[in-house]
Structure formats: C-alpha cells, structure tokens
Homo-oligomer: A and B are copies of this chain.
Amino acid sequence: MERTAYRLADIAARFGGQVVGDADTKVQQIGTLEKATSGQIAFLANAKYRHQLDNSKASAVILSRADSEATELPRIVCDNPYSYFAKLSAFLNPLPECVPGIHSSAVIGKGAKISPQAHIGPQVTVADGAIIGAGSVVMAGCSIGEGATLGENTRLYPNVTVYHGCIVGSHVIVHSGVVIGADGFGIAMDEGKWQKIPQIGRVVVGDHVEIGANTTIDRGALDDTVIEEGVKLDNQIQVAHNVHIGAHTAIAGCVGIAGSATIGKYCRIGGSAGILGHLQIADHVEIASFTLISKSITEPGSYAGIYPFSKNDEWRNNAVHLRHLGDLVKRVKALEKEMESLKGEKI
C-alpha cells in the first residue's frame, strides 16, 4: 500500500502544536525513537526515554514544551505528546474501509436485515432476524445469533460469537474469539443435583466500546448485562451475568468480574484483578493488578492487595508465619502488657 506523506506544517495545522525546525519535513508513519526510520515521526512522552533522542533516525519528533530543545530534529511541540501521537497515528492508520457486500459463503437467516453498506465476510453465519448496520464489518467465521443487533460502523474480527438477542452498539470493535451473550453461571442445588437457571437477559454493549480477544461477556439471568459507552476491555476478561460497567472505564487483561457487580465510570482496573459478585465500585476507582476486591468501594482512589514477591526461599521463610499472624499479634500484646507492668513496678 502506498502511504501518503504529510508535511509537519500540515500536521500542526490539523492537530495543533508548534513546529520547530523544517516545517516542510514529510512523514508518513509513526515509529519509536529507537527504531523509527526516515519518513517516520517518533514521540517522547516519558523522560526516561529522553536519551533515545540522541541516536534516533526519525525524520521528526513530537515533544512536550519542556523537552522542546532536547533535540535538533524537526519537531512538533505540544501539551500532551502521547495524546498527540495517538491522534496522529489514528489519522495515518485508519481502519481499513468497509467494502460492502455479503460473501457468497456466508449463511444468512430468514428476516435478517443487513445494511447494503455492511460487509459480511466468508464463512459467517447470521441467524434469523439479526440486524447489521451500515458500515459494519463482520469478518470470517463470525456467528451472529437470532435477533442480535449490531449498530453502524462496528467491526467484528474473525471468529467472534454473538448470542441471540444481544445488542452491540455503533463504532464498536470486537476482537477474535470474543463471546458475547453466553449463559451466565446460574445454578441452584436441588436434591443433590444442580438445576440450571435459564439466562433470559441479554448483553447490551454501548457505542465506542472495544473488546479484546477471547473476552467473554455473559448474558443476564433476568435483566441485562450492560457495558456502557466508551468502555475499553482488554483480552481474556470475564464479565459475568448482570454486571454493569460504567462509561469510559478501562480494564486490563485477564480480569474476572463476578455476577451483578456494578463498576462506576472512568475506573481503571489492572490485569488479573478480580471483583466479587454484587459489589458496587464508585466512579474513578483504580484497582491494582492481581488485587481481589472483596467489598464495595464507595470512594474514588487507588486500591491494592498484592503479595510482594521475593526469592523463593525468602518468600517461604516469611510466608510460613502468615498462618500464625494472629498469634504473633497476641504475643506482642502480651509483651506490651508485661512491659507496662514492669515499668509500673519501677515507679
């Protein structure tokens, strides 16, 4: 693919910032300071990497005002180099265009309404009554269940499964292997056997959501599971039935969220963290990786609960005492009493 090159002056005209050095310098792609080649523009967003400016072969650099004189390369100086880079990269690397049409190998059910502006790839199955909006792309091997709905300009990478009746909004990106709308884990013990509880709610995914590879979002037991607009989910996240995730919350890989948990807006949850069922998490809460949240959080802020690692034998020598920590506390309390009593005697 032939790439278009843009002058720094044109870029600054579009995205703001101030050009220092040759404003006619042309760039066509983004690169890292370390590996960028001619024709590429790099960025410096973290002072830790400032030394990489010295040997960078990039044609230009995006920098903060504080770093504006840290290189002699042609550069764009701006308030937030990381966000500038993100926007410029999105401009230089748009998603591939939607080529409307239905591949001859796709199987389309009765009453399905597929926009003539949508793209349905090879080996796709669209079940009866499903609806797919204009500009949406459903890639190879996806399965769209009965009566499910995809909005406009939504993209499903290959081998995504959307169960019956679920709703996926517009401008949503769903990566391969994602399963939307499988049954929640609802069982009731009855005379020594588990009775399955039908899961008759749906999954409702808002606009501008992105869902990473192999993430699973279960349908609600009775009411719906809801992912609000702008939520960003990384890979291999498990979202149980009736969870509600507030707008613009970002969740890293391998997180597990148990049933009926409610997570606020603008939260950030680290990798492999967990949230127990029926909890409420306030807006603007940050949860560290590997932390299990075992009761509701009502205050914004940053929370953690991680066992610190060490060399194996040190860990072993320390961890063994955890099983007697309550005793240790009692022993210290006893010592304190004895100490008080000894000191008392002296008076």
Contact = CB atoms under 8 A, between A and B. Distances in A.
Interface of A: 29-32, 34-35, 80, 82-83, 85-87, 89-90, 92-93, 103, 105, 107, 121-123, 125, 127, 139-141, 143, 145, 157-159, 161, 163, 173, 175-177, 179, 182-183, 185-190, 192-198, 200, 208, 210, 212-214, 216, 218, 222-223, 230, 232, 234-236, 238, 240, 248, 250, 252-254, 256, 258, 271-272, 274, 276, 286-294, 301-326, 328-329, 331-332, 335-336, 338-339, 342-343, 345-346
Contacts of A194: 230, 232, 248, 250
A73 to B, nearest CB: 17
Given A82-B188, A86-B187, A93-B200, 4 more contacts: A80-B190, A89-B200, A90-B197, A308-B322
A35 B222 contact: yes
A169 B204 CA distance: 33
A294 B306 contact: yes
Given A32-B222, A196-B90, A335-B336, A312 B303 contact: yes
Given A107-B122, A194-B250, A310-B303, A216 B289 contact: no
A99 to B, nearest CB: 12
B195 A83 contact: yes
Nearest to A46: B278
Nearest to A89: B198
A272 B271 contact: no
Contacts of A87: 190, 195
Contacts of A139: 143
A125 B125 contact: no
Contact of A93 (B92, B198, B210): B198
Contacts of A214: 177, 179, 214, 216, 236
**By CB atoms of chain B within 10 A, which of A30, A194, A195, A317 has the most?**
A194
A320 B92 CA distance: 46
